[in-house]
Chain A
Amino acid sequence: MISFLTDLFSNFWVSLAGKLAIVGLMIPLVGMVIGFAEMKLSAKMQARVGPYFAGGRWGWAQLIADGVKFFQKEDLIPAEADRPVFKIAPVLVLVSTVALLVVIPFGPGLIFRDLSVGVFFALAISSLSTIGILMAGWSSGNKYSLMGGLRAAGQLIAYELPLVLAVVGSVILAGTMSMSGIVEAQIEAGYPYVIFQFIGFGIFMIAALAELSRIPFDMPIAESELVMGYLTEYSGFRFLFFFLAEFANMFSLSAIAVTLFLGGYWLPGIPEDVLAYVGPLILLAKTFLLVFVMIWFRWTFPRFREDQLQSLAWKFLVPLALANIAITAVFKVVLS
């Protein structure tokens, strides 16, 4: 039986179909789980209960109900909007999120495609969402959306640089840009890279929050000022795409952080063969820990103003990241 399955999946097309199915299912599933977690966790932090009625006492069916609700809404496109751009924007954002999952190693050998420049690919693809957001803001035909889109453009471009520079430290330590290669290097070294790359980890998490436009960096959305910023005119399933994309992106960026800094699917003391089965679970646990921290920050802090945000990125994070790279490189050369 097992051999039949392995033969089946060694066929290129079958395995491709299988991988597409998994990725296609993962995004809504992950999105729903994280969305639900956000609702319940924020409720706990705010002395209330959160979703309660949908699906029994825990309210677990709330997001399923929300998904169905979004799908059956009327597809409204404002008269002044630029139709093709308006329609493509959410797709672009979702696509960049999905593509990130391709290079995340879920276990030893359990990776959709092990690119030798995995890190580079991941960071490049995640920048596509910036274009999607700009398109959304501009094409909505609405001044608030335009302002939101412009703020988003400024913010996302500003924080790309710290995001990229922060991971260079890990790449130097591992000596490879392949994601699974970095995890294997951490396994070989016997410690997760965060122990030496804590600065890089911190910068990466801050930049990731900014890339996701989450509080404290949600100026582009800034609910209390711009209604919903670039998302104002989106409703129905187009809004669902953005909504899911945000949560899935939280997952993807956290997974990248776990892979590059926290040791990926590995925990010290677990033998290799067990790792093939337990690896995905370990990765998911670590990722959800980081997602929890992101949710926690969102409900605790107010938001930065645009110029404060920019000066944080350019005047603080970038120099710090460069210093981190320099120190790491020196140590690597001296100690090897």
Chain B
Amino acid sequence: MVLDQDLVRHLSESSVSVELETEDMTLNIGPQHPSTHGVLRLVARVDGERAFDVQPVIGYMHRGYEKLSEVRTYPQITTLVNRIDWVSGYANEVPFIVAAEKLLGIEVPERAQFIRLILTEMARISSHLIFMASYPLELGAATPLFFALRERERVLDLLEGVTGGRFHPNFNRIGGVKPAYGSGSSTRKVIQDLPEGFLAETRDAMDKVTVAVDEINTLVAGNEILLARTKGIGILPPEVAVSYGVSGPNLRASGVPFDLRKVENYLPYHLFDFEVPVGENGDCWDRWHVRLLEIRQSVRIIQQAIDKIPSGPLQAKVPKVIKVPPGETYVRAENPKGEMGYYLVSKGGQGPYRLKIRSASFSNISILPWILEGVLVPDIIAIMGSLDFVLGDVDR
């Protein structure tokens, strides 16, 4: 039985002289809390177990990236931009570099584009595996955490092998990707390519990730308690989602089959064959399920990319000191969390005049006051977790 929300509010705000006088309580969830994905604070007014006015307070991690970009050169900004959505480090860099390259009019070599695509898909797998790990933990199941993170280690090891960094690769350069250096004084010749064996190891790792994802699916998807906690909870209708700017798997779980990889051309996704998983009801279960299916699709893309990768240089010829000619452009990409875009305004010069960062999680959690109206306190955690946001992405 679901109580009418207006009735609940009326009962809790009026004091009835004959029966029990109930007062509502203001519950502060966070900023230090085991399940708020970072320093997010929710000020919730609860009546018993039901919350009815949840206001998020953000900004605890605001680092002022947009202001900082105004005093940095383009390669320096890639180091900053890695740290926006730190769970999928590589994916943040790509739209920014593509925007700068658009203004410069540089054509990126094919091999570099394929490498960018492979690493972006690996970042997507990494981000979704973190979701697979942390979401059941918020509902109380502690074991999928370890299985998912063990698989994520494989992906991160590969990322580290080729870029040097697990979380913040900083691998893009204007015109392509950064070729590896030889090590030691005996190899004076610079190795201008991916490490040996990277592609074969990636193929191996992708097979193992597929097996593990199936394992996690069995452990979680058939569990009645988990289904009872997520089915029908936190339903997000597509019109509301679109109006708030919710994007990525959250939008697709609500039934909107829209994926920026199919419509934008920042990377050569049109060369590969993959599906866009769509959910039916827009509840927490669908958001879980869509992300699980997306991992499988990413594995598929990576395997095709490894088969088709052409040879060639890893970076186009660029001058030593890069000044981007004046212009404005907006490039958006399908990040694991949703639509990430960079609006770059350049007035000549080595750094941008204005860089507006459109981060996915900012818009994704702007829906919290709407979606958490009248839900039970345990469901607040379930719904928040299913939106899969990261505070660095929210606060920039």
Contact = CB atoms under 8 A, between A and B. Distances in A.
A touches B in complex, CB < 8 A? yes
Interface of A: 42, 45-48, 143-144, 147, 215-216, 218-219, 222-225, 227, 299-308
A302 B379 CA distance: 13
Nearest to A154: B49
A299 B142 contact: yes
A216 B140 CA distance: 8
B34 A302 contact: no
A219 B219 CA distance: 21
Contact of A224 (B138, B143, B226, B379): B138
Contacts, number: 78
B377 A302 contact: no
B228 A227 contact: no
Minimum-distance CB pairs A-B, first 6: A303-B140, A302-B139, A46-B146, A302-B141, A302-B140, A224-B35
Given A216-B140, A224-B138, A225-B381, A302 B376 contact: no
B377 A147 contact: yes
Interface string B199-243: 000000000000000000001000101101100000000000000
B167 to A, nearest CB: 22
B2 to A, nearest CB: 11
B33 interface: yes
Given A224-B381, A302-B136, A305-B229, 15 more contacts: A47-B150, A222-B140, A223-B140, A224-B34, A224-B139, A225-B138, A225-B380, A225-B381, A299-B143, A301-B140, A302-B140, A303-B139, A303-B140, A304-B229, A305-B376
A304 B229 CA distance: 7
A147 B48 CA distance: 8
Interface of B: 25, 27, 33-35, 49, 136-143, 145-147, 150, 219, 223, 225-226, 228-229, 376-381
A60 B185 CA distance: 49
B39 to A, nearest CB: 15
Contacts of B146: 46-48
A317 to B, nearest CB: 15
Contacts of A307: 49, 376
A300 B140 CA distance: 9
Contact of B229 (A143, A218, A299, A302): A302
A303 to B, nearest CB: 3
Nearest to A42: B142
Nearest to B134: A224
B182 to A, nearest CB: 37
Nearest to B35: A224
Contacts of B138: 224-225
A124 B25 CA distance: 34
A216 B225 contact: yes
Contacts of A222: 140, 378
Contacts of A299: 142-143
A62 B304 CA distance: 49
A144 B377 CA distance: 11
B1 to A, nearest CB: 10
B49 A306 contact: yes
Contacts of B219: 300
Contact of A46 (B140, B143, B378, B379): B143
7 contacts: A47-B147, A143-B25, A223-B34, A225-B380, A299-B143, A305-B379, A308-B229
A45 B219 CA distance: 12
B261 to A, nearest CB: 32
Given A301-B223, A302-B139, A308-B228, A219 B378 contact: yes
Nearest to A304: B225
A47 B145 CA distance: 11
Contacts of B378: 219, 222, 225, 305-306
Given A47-B147, A47-B150, A48-B146, A300 B141 contact: yes
A218 B136 CA distance: 15
Contacts of B34: 223-224, 227
Nearest to A48: B146
A301 B139 CA distance: 9
B381 A301 contact: no
Contacts of A306: 49, 376, 378
Contacts of B223: 301-302
A223 B150 CA distance: 23
B137 A224 contact: yes
Contacts of B139: 224, 302-303
B143 A218 contact: no
